[in-house]
Amino acid sequence: MTACPVNGEIIILDNGGYGGATITKSLTVNASAGVVAFIARTITVNIASTDKVVLRGLSLNGKVFGDIKGIAFTGGGTLVVENSVIAGFGDQGIAQSAAGSNLIVSNSEIRNQDVGIQNASSSDTNSNTVIENSRFEYLNSYGVGGNGGTANISIRNSALANNNMSVFAYTSSQTRPVLIVVDTCTIAHNNRGTDAETGGAGASATIRVTNSTIYHNGDGMFISGAGAAIESYGNNRVTANTNGSTFSGTVLPLQ
Amino acid sequence: MKRVSLHLVAGIVFSLLVATRASAQVARVFLAGTGNDAGDCSNQATPCRSLQGTVNQCPVDGEIIILDNGGYGGATITKSLTVDASAGVVAFIARTITVTIGATDKVVLRGLSMNGVVFGDADGIAFTGGGTLVVENSIVAGFTTAGIDQVAAGSNLIVNNCGFRNNSAGVLNSTFSDTNSNTVIENSRFEHNTAFGVDAEHGTTNVSIRNSVLANNFGGVYAFSASQTQPVLIVVDTCTIAHNSSAGTDADAVAAGIATIRVTNSTVDHNTYGMFLNGAGAAIQSYGNNRVTANTNGRPSSAIGVYTISKGGVHDTSLSPDCRRICFLFCRRYQRFGAGGPGLSHRNRKRRRRLYESGHTVSQPPGGGDGLPGQRRDHHPG
């Protein structure tokens, strides 16, 4: 990491364990599909708002050493994580905590920790998260959540199964609304498939669901607090949930 | 743009805590064709040789990294761990991998190429313990009972981006228990399996299949239940189910059993039966957004929010008498094929006999499976 130039690329040549790191500049870490780039410790990405880091092809497994976070995204700027596995950490697979940051996750497996991906900046300034073609499995708390700070999250073409909650939107502040759009996902076998909660006056926590299957959860939708909503575009499949199979309000129009 | 190359032997050291001595704690062990099981596999330069040897040396919750192409043999896994073969490696396994773990354990198998034809083992992966098993980016072929055989009550199986071909069943969930077990299948392919691509029977189960292709099998998706306390529900989402020689989707309920398949955004085409039903508790339901075409026989039995056709009965009144006779003759032919096959497991023989018997017994549908007396529609796009 130290030797990589700014905006440079680290090419991982072979299988092996490479340990954790702190990244403070723009760069790309690139492990090809033919290599197991094994990381058992936290990677901290603490970059400036104009910096961009890309992590490709990593296999993170934190179970043995018990670190809290797989990837701690603590600085602003943009982080892309793709073709990676993040498993076994004490709390979050990816913790996005910087105001104004952008996280993009593609084709990754996130499993076997408390939280998959958390967007929680504790700020009124929005942070974006885009998740695509990924899987969130057996997470003890939730798969994808915006739960402390203004957040706009989209999840597309992903499977979220066997978790406590799969999609979680929470805010206690009117100035920190959370919106999660769920598109073409399978949400199955969770205690709660989708969960929207508010904890303060004027707060807004919304999940909007399109073309998704919410199946065999304890609660398909769990809604708590004024300003909490789980809305449908009228094109979902909701079946075999024990409780909570009703979306909020009227169906959103497709255009 | 300048680039920096990273290599374990000569290069930049990242880690503070990756073990450099065999006795230090490690999170990963190595497996290679040039390895030797005499060591502890913790050093990339001295990997183990067999999968079982590496499993034995792998720490609980650790990771087995498969370094190169090779045949690694079957294994029995009794603890949480991950087996990780990259896409650049053929990690060949010709024998059964048995996963028998505790209810809180989690095993992940990535990137394996399993082919059981030569040695004739019954299961590719025998998931005989509770807990969670994830199988991804793998091929499982040529096993005589199932590619993956999920038999433990309360177990969770997750399958992603896998190919199942030339087995008897591709993925089989059969726990013989009232306690639910879950199966999630995504982005996978089921091809020329001699029984069903996905088979859920004999035990309470909830199965979802998404973004997958089930083609050229004996059957695509099969739900069977013989007990009210062991219902089977399969949700089929955005799948192509085509060219299967018997049924694309088959729901089979005997006695008070409940066997349900729900289909959304899928294409069911060019099967002998698009939908095949037997028994009062059997249903194949549509969300009204499927494409069902060019099947020789069999239309949806009922649909959620669209149809109000009563469920049940292989005697679908939309079928002509000739179709019913074809059904009977087909099942007789299958029974001869199945019963005569060498090396079939007892369970396979029972399953095939049941298929035969379900075709042989033609029953009238009860009135109002949905509370409505025998109402039906003649045609619906699905």
Measured between alpha carbons, how far is A150 from A130 in angstroms, rounded to an integer? Answer: 15
- Specify the DSSP element, H or E, that contains B52: helix B51-57
* Residue the block writes with tokens 């498939």: A193
Residue B88 lies in a domain: no
- pLDDT greater than 90 at residue B241: yes
- Looking at the structure of chain B, the number of domains it has is 1
Q: Spell out the residues 6+ positions from residue A13 whose beta carbon is closer than 8 angstroms to its own.
A: A35, B5, B6, B7
**Is B69 within the bounds of a domain?**
no
Q: Supply the ipTM of this predicted assembly.
A: 0.84
- DSSP-derived letter for residue A243 is B
- Across the interface, of B6, B156, B208, the residue whose CB is closest to A13 is B6
User: pLDDT grade, residue B23 (50/70/90)?
Assistant: low
Average pLDDT over every residue of B216-230: 97
B146 within some domain: no
CA gap B62, B45 in Å, rounded:
18
B178 part of a folded domain: no
CA distance B333 to chain A (A): 37
B112 occurs within a structural domain: no
Does residue B297 sit within a domain?
A: yes
What whole-number distance in Å separates Cα of residue B317 and Cα of residue B155? 39
List, for residues B50-66, the tens digit of each pLDDT value. 999 999 999 999 999 99
Contact assignment for A40 to B12 by CB distance below 8 Å? no
Encode A176-209: b = buried (16+ Cβ within 10 Å), e = exposed.
bbbbbbbbbbbbbbbbbbbbbbbeeeebbbbbbb
Cα(B290)–Cα(B286) distance, rounded to whole angstroms? 7
Verify whether the Cβ–Cβ distance B28 to A138 is below 8 Å.
no
Give the closest-approach CA distance of B106 to chain A in angstroms. 8
Contact state of A135 with B65 under an 8 Å Cβ cutoff: no
In a domain, B303, yes or no: yes
User: With pLDDT > 90 as the criterion, what percentage of chain A qualifies?
Assistant: 90
**Which of A234-243, B96-105, B318-327 shows the lowest per-residue confidence on average (mean pLDDT)?**
B318-327
**Considering the domain A8-239 in this protein, what is its CATH number?**
2.160.20
Let me know if residue B35 belongs to a domain.
Answer: no
Output the six-digit token pair for B163: 């190919």
The mean predicted confidence, pLDDT, of chain B is 80
If you ran DSSP here, which 8-state letter would residue B48 be given? B
Instruction: Enumerate the domain spans of chain A.
Output: 8-239
Checking if the pLDDT of A84 tops 70, the result is: yes
B7 — contact with chain A (CB < 8 Å)? yes
Q: What range does the domain containing B269 cover?
A: 195-323+363-382
